[in-house]
């Protein structure tokens, strides 16, 4: 628990390490795409990532399945064509849900960023903003050489938790509107078919699961699409908010207990020849903070298929809410498809900040649908292109011309599907 009795004023002179045109903070799906989108618009881009790899939850937390979104376009489409060509659909509106190797994706991103002229800084954790008069001038970053300032004209927060925006004072909310509870966390793991019986082990502190109903999600959920004997398992569930100190501490310990317990269960119920071979380096975080942007995406938008004049991403991924109470239920509801408007990424109070990825302005239910990787790639690419336009034209992020943005995205290979059901809302 934080001490209520003390606080400190912390002042330091911090050396500037680099000045870029655009700095992207967080190298997950949104951040990698934002960096590429901005670099393709001719900008000097620095991408700051606190871990040792790019890909975000898709590699660090070993999610390693792309959920279907109904519009395979832009940088996401490129990733599919370059890493998973056998899944590339002829038409943009076909749905795919490929499983991939998180290790290969990690390697792919290193090479991709080099080709795209994005300067990547690993082990660089954002810790604070320097801002005045509605502009961010620099971010303070914890590096292997201590604290350093990274300056830029434009900043894109792709930390997933809206860390940069929140530090700068952008209003935000967390989790379910009624009680602030977020979707639970899951530690992904892999098992490998060894071709011979393995001895199930149950380490100290773990649980004996005998029935499906004993399992944390009350279901068996795994994929075995890679044809190499590897099994990807998504079956743990921990009630916790991954952006809270106490809760993440609890989650990392509890999730690992569950992983060993689930592996032990699977080895006795159909996977007798499978060894536990890989546990993700960190427990996956589905939901933490949402900024309050110029527009908040709602459940109504998702279910009614709202179309927006300032569309930057399109998806028909279902409403998918793992029980925030950690009950053994998941609320899954089909949706036909909807647009996500640019305004969801724009915090009102800053001229040179966008937030892309899962932390955009959205309600709890809407977020459960827009959070998947392909959508975050689309949002990131649009944010990168928009930041470049803002810089070129000298306008604030909120005043970026949608005509110009759509033109630039088209130039970068993004295609928006024609208007389907629902209404089109104006961009202002």
Least distance from ligand FAD to the Cβ atom of residue 247, Å:
14
348 — phi, psi (to 5°)? -60, -40
Q: Does 216 bind ligand FAD (CB under 6 A)?
A: no
Query: Which one of the spans 13-21, 61-69, 87-95, 334-342 is the region binding ligand FAD (CB under 6 A)?
Result: 61-69
- Residues with Cβ within 8 Å of residue 243, at least 6 apart in sequence: 161, 174, 285, 288, 289
Q: Which residues pair with 244 in a beta bridge?
A: none
Q: Does 306 bind ligand FAD (CB under 6 A)?
A: no
* CB-count exposure of residue 86 (10 Å: 0-12, 13-18, 19+): exposed
Q: Does 337 bind ligand FAD (CB under 6 A)?
A: no
d(CA 201, CA 68): 35
Least distance from ligand FAD to the Cβ atom of residue 58, Å:
5
Least distance from ligand FAD to the Cβ atom of residue 40, Å:
18
Which residue, 93 or 125, has its beta carbon nearer to ligand FAD?
125
Q: CA dist 21 to 46, 155, 167, 293, 334, Å? A: 8, 9, 21, 23, 41
Q: Which residue, chain included where needed, has tokens 């050489």?
A: 145
Site string (127-166) toward ligand FAD, x via CB under 6 A: -------------------------------xxxx-x---
Q: Does 311 bind ligand FAD (CB under 6 A)?
A: no
Q: CB atoms < 10 A from the CB of 37, how many?
A: 34
Q: Does 98 bind ligand FAD (CB under 6 A)?
A: no
Q: Does 167 bind ligand FAD (CB under 6 A)?
A: no
Residue 334 in contact with residue 318, Cβ under 8 Å? yes
Residue 189 in contact with residue 102, Cβ under 8 Å? no
Q: Does 299 bind ligand FAD (CB under 6 A)?
A: no
Query: Which one of the spans 62-70, 169-177, 294-302, 411-419 is the region binding ligand FAD (CB under 6 A)?
Result: 62-70
Which residue, 35 or 389, has its beta carbon nearer to ligand FAD?
35
Q: Does 73 bind ligand FAD (CB under 6 A)?
A: no
Which residue, 111 or 399, has its beta carbon nearer to ligand FAD?
111
Smallest CA-to-CA distance from 388 within 182, 158, 153, 174 is with 153
The DSSP 8-state label assigned to residue 187 in this structure reads: -
Q: Does 66 bind ligand FAD (CB under 6 A)?
A: yes
The DSSP 8-state label assigned to residue 284 in this structure reads: B
d(CA 375, CA 255): 27
Angle between helices 29-39 and 102-115 (to 10 degrees): 20
| Backbone dihedral region for residue 270 (phi beyond 0: left; psi -120 to 50: alpha; all else: beta) | left
Q: Does 68 bind ligand FAD (CB under 6 A)?
A: no
Least distance from ligand FAD to the Cβ atom of residue 406, Å:
22
- What stretch of H or E contains 174? strand 172-174
Q: Does 355 bind ligand FAD (CB under 6 A)?
A: no
Question: Which residue among 58, 98, 293, 324 contacts ligand FAD (CB under 6 A)?
Answer: 58
d(CA 405, CA 412): 10
Which residue, 128 or 341, has its beta carbon nearer to ligand FAD?
128
Q: Does 186 bind ligand FAD (CB under 6 A)?
A: yes
Site string (6-45) toward ligand FAD, x via CB under 6 A: -------------------xxxxxxx--------------
Q: Does 256 bind ligand FAD (CB under 6 A)?
A: no
- What stretch of H or E contains 426? none
Query: Which one of the spans 3-11, 212-220, 300-308, 369-377 is the region binding ligand FAD (CB under 6 A)?
Result: 369-377
The DSSP 8-state label assigned to residue 184 in this structure reads: P
Residues 220-249 close enough to bind ligand FAD by CB under 6 A: 234
Query: On the CB side of 23, how many CA atoms lie within 13 Å of its CA?
Result: 28
Question: Which residue among 48, 251, 279, 405 contacts ligand FAD (CB under 6 A)?
Answer: 48
Tell me which residues touch ligand FAD (CB under 6 A).
Answer: 25-31, 48-51, 56-58, 60-61, 63, 65-67, 125-126, 158-161, 163, 186, 188, 234, 284-286, 357-358, 371-373, 376
């Amino acid at each position: 628990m934080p001490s209520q009795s003390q606080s400190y004023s912390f002042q330091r002179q911090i050396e500037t390490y680099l000045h870029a045109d655009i700095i992207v903070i967080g190298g997950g799906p949104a951040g990698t795409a934002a960096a590429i989108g901005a670099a393709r618009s001719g900008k000097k881009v620095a991408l700051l990532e606190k871990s040792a790899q790019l890909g975000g939850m898709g590699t660090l937390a070993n999610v390693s399945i792309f959920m279907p979104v109904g519009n395979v376009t832009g940088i996401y489409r490129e990733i599919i064509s370059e890493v998973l060509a056998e899944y590339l659909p002829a038409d943009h509106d076909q749905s795919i849900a490929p499983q991939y190797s998180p290790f290969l994706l990690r390697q792919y991103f290193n090479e991709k960023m080099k080709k795209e002229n994005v300067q990547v800084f690993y082990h660089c954790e954002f810790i604070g903003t320097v801002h005045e008069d509605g502009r961010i001038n620099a971010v303070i970053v914890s590096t292997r050489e201590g604290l350093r300032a990274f300056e830029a004209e434009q900043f894109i927060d792709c930390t997933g938790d809206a860390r940069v925006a929140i530090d700068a004072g952008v209003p935000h909310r967390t989790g379910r509107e009624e009680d602030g509870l977020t979707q639970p966390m899951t530690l992904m793991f892999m098992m490998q078919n060894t071709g011979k019986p393995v001895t199930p082990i149950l380490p100290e502190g773990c649980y004996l699961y005998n029935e499906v109903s004993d399992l944390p999600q009350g279901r068996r959920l795994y994929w075995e699409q890679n044809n190499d004997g590897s099994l990807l398992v998504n079956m743990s569930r921990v009630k916790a908010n991954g952006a809270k100190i106490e809760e993440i501490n609890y989650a990392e310990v509890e999730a690992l207990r569950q992983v060993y317990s689930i592996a032990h269960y699977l080895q006795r119920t159909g996977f007798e020849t499978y060894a536990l071979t890989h546990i993700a380096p960190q427990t996956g975080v589905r939901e933490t903070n949402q900024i309050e942007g110029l527009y908040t995406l709602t459940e109504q938008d998702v279910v009614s298929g709202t179309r927006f004049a300032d569309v930057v991403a399109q998806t028909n991924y279902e409403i998918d809410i793992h029980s925030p109470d950690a009950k053994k239920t998941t609320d899954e509801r089909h949706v036909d498809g909807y647009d996500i408007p640019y305004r969801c990424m724009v915090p009102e109070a800053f001229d040179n900040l966008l937030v892309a990825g899962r932390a955009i302005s959205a309600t709890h239910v809407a977020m459960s649908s827009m959070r998947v990787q392909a959508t975050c790639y689309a949002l990131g690419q649009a944010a990168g292109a928009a930041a470049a336009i803002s810089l070129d034209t000298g306008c604030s992020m909120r005043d970026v011309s949608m005509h110009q943005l759509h033109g630039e995205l088209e130039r970068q290979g993004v295609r928006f599907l024609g208007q389907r059901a629902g209404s089109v809302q104006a961009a202002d």
